[in-house]
Amino acid sequence: MTTDSPSPHHTPVVVVGAGPAGLTVGNILRAASVDCVVLETESRAFIERRPRAGVLEEWAVHGLRRRGLARNLLAGARRHSACEFRFGGERHRFSYAELTGRHHWVYPQPLLVTDLVAEYVDVRGGDARFSVRGVELHDLGTGRPSVSYSDPGAAERHVLTCDFVVGADGARGVSRTAVVPERARIARHDYGTGWLALLAEAPPSSDCVLFGVHPNGFAGHMARSPEVTRYYLQCPPGDDPENWSHDRVWSELHERLAAAGAPPLTEGRLIEKRVLDLHDYVVEPMAYGRLFLAGDAAHLVAPIAAKGMNLALHDAFLLGDALVAYLDGGEGAGLDGYSQACLRRVWDYQEFSQWLSEVYHGSATGDPFRAGTSFARLRRLFTSPAAAAAFAEQYLGTAARY
Ligand code: FAD
C-alpha cells in the first residue's frame, strides 16, 4: 500500500489513534485478515514510552489473552490481591482476592502499547502510519466515508476511503468533534479538584496500592515496576507542578500516607510531575454514521478508580469483533448494539469513580459533614461484609451484568 498517492486509496477500516483502544481493534481486524490503516500523530518510539495507566482488570487480561495479545503481559505483569486505605493514622487492608478470588494486574501502559504495536505491525502485518498531521474525517453520514491526513512537512494530503472509521484518538483527538451535536449528547462532570500525578524512580513501598485519606488531601501509591512507582497528591485544580518541589512532594506523601506500623516510603527522583484537573465526560451514542468512537475519545473517566484503559479495551473488544462479524458476513447486530453495550459499563464505572472521589476527597474539603460521611463510607467497607462485597465487585469490574 503506498502512502504518497494523491488519489484516494480504499481500505475497509481506518483507525484513528494508536493507543490501547485503536491498536486492539487493529489487531482483532488483522487476526481476521481484515485490512485497515492505523493513523497516529506521534512516533512509534513516543507512544511506546508514554507513561499513564498500569492497572488492568482480570476480564481485560483474559480478553487480551483470548485474542493472542497477552503473551508478555502474562509473563511480566504482577497480580495484586489487596489494596490498603490509610486514614486516622491507621492501616486498613482490603484483601479483595481473599473475598472474591479475583485480582488486579499491574502492567504499565507503555509496555502494553509496545506489545500491541509489535503484534499489529511486525507479526500481523498491519499498516500503521506514525507522525501523521492534520487528520480530518469526511462524509461520515454516507456509505463511503474517508479520512485525510498529511505527512510531516508535506503540503500534499493523502485520502483513504473506507467502509468504517474507528475514532480511537483519545481525549484530545479529532474524532469526537466530528460527531454532530444534533446527533449526540456529551455529558460532563468536573470534580473541582486536581491531582498532582507523579512518577518516582523508586521501588514500590508496599506490595499493594495505597490510598491515603487525610485532612491535607488524598495521596495514592501505585506500583508500576520494581524500579518505578506512581504517586498522586490531591492539589488545587490548575495548580502549577513547579509549586511542588522534590522536598514538598515527599514531605506531603510521607504525611498523607503515614500510619501506625507502616514502613517508610522509599524516596526517589521524580521523573513525571503534572497536574490533572479531574473531570469525566461521556459521548452518547458512541457512533455517528460510519464512525465508531472507542476509549477516551468516547468517554473520559478521571483516574480515581484506574478504569480508563480498561474501558478502552472493553470498547475495542466489542468493536473489533462487531466489525469483523459485519465485514466477514454482513452480521450487523454487534455494530448496531455497540454503543449501548459499551455505555452500560461506562456509566457504572463513572458512578463508582464519583463515589470513590467523595471517599478520597471528602475529608479535605474543610466541611465536617462531608468528612463525617466519607469516613462512614470507609468504615463500612471494614464492618459490613455486604458493603465490602459490593466495593470489591465495582473495584474489580466483576459484575455479572452491566
Ligand atoms: P489514548 O491512549 O489516549 O490513545 C489515543 C492515541 O491517539 C494517542 O496515541 C494519540 O497520540 C493519538 N492521537 C491523538 N490525536 C490524534 C489525531 N488527531 N490523529 C491520530 N492520532 C491521534 N486507566 C486504567 O485503566 N488504569 C490506570 O491505572 C490508569 N491510570 C492513569 C494514570 C494517568 C496519570 C492518566 C492520565 C490516565 C490513566 N488511565 C488509567 C487512563 C488511561 O491511560 C486511558 O484511559 C487510556 O490511555 C485510553 O486509551 P485510548 O486508546 O482510548 O486513548
Which pTM does this prediction carry? Answer: 0.96
Same CATH fold assignment for domains 9-78+107-187+280-351 and 83-104+191-278+363-396: no
> Does 41 sit in the ligand 1 pocket, CB within 6 Å?
yes
Please tell me the distance between residue 21's alpha carbon and the centre of ligand 1 in angstroms: 8
> Any bridge partners for residue 223, and if so which?
229
> Does 315 sit in the ligand 1 pocket, CB within 6 Å?
no
Q: Which atom of ligand 1 is nearest to the CA of 222?
A: 28
Q: Are 144 and 155 in contact (CB under 8 A)?
A: no
> Does 273 sit in the ligand 1 pocket, CB within 6 Å?
no
> Does 128 sit in the ligand 1 pocket, CB within 6 Å?
no
Q: Which atom of ligand 1 is nearest to the CA of 310?
A: 25
CATH 3.50.50.60 fits 9-78+107-187+280-351, yes or no: yes
- Angle at the Cα of 90 from the Cα atoms of 89 and 92, rounded to 5 degrees: 145
Q: pLDDT tens string for the chain (402 positions)?
A: 334 445 579 999 999 999 999 999 999 999 999 999 999 999 999 999 999 999 999 999 999 999 999 999 999 999 999 999 999 999 999 999 999 999 999 999 999 999 999 999 999 999 999 999 999 999 999 999 999 999 998 989 999 999 999 999 999 999 999 987 888 999 999 999 999 999 999 999 999 999 999 999 999 999 999 999 999 999 999 999 999 999 999 999 999 999 999 999 999 999 999 999 999 999 999 999 999 999 999 999 999 999 999 999 999 999 999 999 999 988 889 999 999 999 999 999 999 999 999 999 999 999 999 999 999 999 999 999 999 999 999 999 999 999
Domain boundaries, the chain: 9-78+107-187+280-351, 83-104+191-278+363-396
Please tell me the distance between residue 380's alpha carbon and the centre of ligand 1 in angstroms: 34
- C-alpha span between 137 and 145 (Å, rounded): 8
> Does 16 sit in the ligand 1 pocket, CB within 6 Å?
yes
Class of domain 83-104+191-278+363-396: alpha beta
Q: Which atom of ligand 1 is nearest to the CA of 39?
A: 20
DSSP state string for 186-226: EEEEEEEEEEEEEEEES--SSSSEEEE--TT--EEEEE-SS
> Any bridge partners for residue 186, and if so which?
283
φ, ψ for residue 128, nearest 5 deg: -125, 135
- Residue owning the nearest CA to atom 38 of ligand 1: 53
Best CA proximity match to 315, nearest among 22, 57, 115, 117: 22
